[in-house]
Amino acid sequence: MASAAPVDDEATLVAQLRAGDEAAYEQVVRAYGGRLLAVARRIVGSEEDARDVVQDAFMNAFRSLDRFEGNAKLSTWLHRIAVNAALMKLRTRKRKPEQSIETLLPGFLDDGHHEERFKSWEEPVDKMMERAENRELVRKQIDALPEGYRTVLVLRDIEGLDTEETANVLGLTVNATKIRLHRARQALRTLLAPHFRSAES
């Protein structure tokens, strides 16, 4: 799919934004909106909430332009604002009932051994992730995780929040958050395995 035109000169763009230049606002929204919407969707799940989050994020960003420091990247700064807006959304919304993840967890025999013999994956992770179709696949499978698990995985492993922060935002105990993260990673492994295992092993 086509992506928005990249921004070549951030410093000039920021100066134009600060001066209230309307074309600059539009350029920023077009250039970064798509990825902020993707981040918001990944955290809050629903399309409607994600759109609210993006609106809030841009509003907050445009209001606090004077707090943007020139040595940061505009994309990183906007990303952080969008994550915060998404967290705010999670805090204020009613919690949904937990979905089951059992079928995506590893099974064990009575003697405690794994039911499955794990076939090795074809390439080292860096090599695998050089390919756009694999990056797309991983994003898709993250989105396919049951809601409460996806959110924990995204906040901890992707956005880098610590366990306490994540627990706090989601209204979970620290222990429940750890368990969910562990299950989410295991489930994601199960979802990715058929695509990543090497043909000959």
Instruction: Provide the binding-site residues for other proteins, judged by CB under 8 A.
Output: 1-4, 6, 20, 22, 25-26, 29-30, 33-39, 42, 51, 54-55, 58-59, 62-63, 73, 75-76, 79, 106, 108, 111-114, 117-121, 125-126, 128-129, 132, 134-139, 142, 153-154, 157-158, 178, 181-182, 185-186, 188-189, 192-193, 196
Q: How far is the CB of 149 from other proteins (least distance, A)?
A: 12
Q: In the complex with other proteins, which residue's Cβ is closer, 168 or 186? A: 186
On the CB side of 194, CA atoms within 13 Å amount to 6
Q: How far is the CB of 103 from other proteins (least distance, A)?
A: 16
Nearest to 37 by CA among 58, 51, 56: 51
Q: How far is the CB of 114 from other proteins (least distance, A)?
A: 5
Q: How far is the CB of 191 from other proteins (least distance, A)?
A: 9
Q: In the complex with other proteins, which residue's Cβ is closer, 34 or 168? A: 34
Q: Are 177 and 167 in contact (CB under 8 A)?
A: yes
Q: In the complex with other proteins, which residue's Cβ is closer, 97 or 194? A: 194
User: Which run of H or E residues covers position 138?
Assistant: helix 132-143
Q: In the complex with other proteins, which residue's Cβ is closer, 108 or 173? A: 108
Give the 3-state DSSP-derived string for 81-137, with helices as H, strands as E and coil as C. HHHHHHHHHHHHCCCCCCCCCHHHCCCECCCCCECCCCCCECCCHHHHCCCHHHHHH
Q: Alpha-carbon dihedral of residues 7, 136, 60, 47, nearest 10 degrees?
A: 130
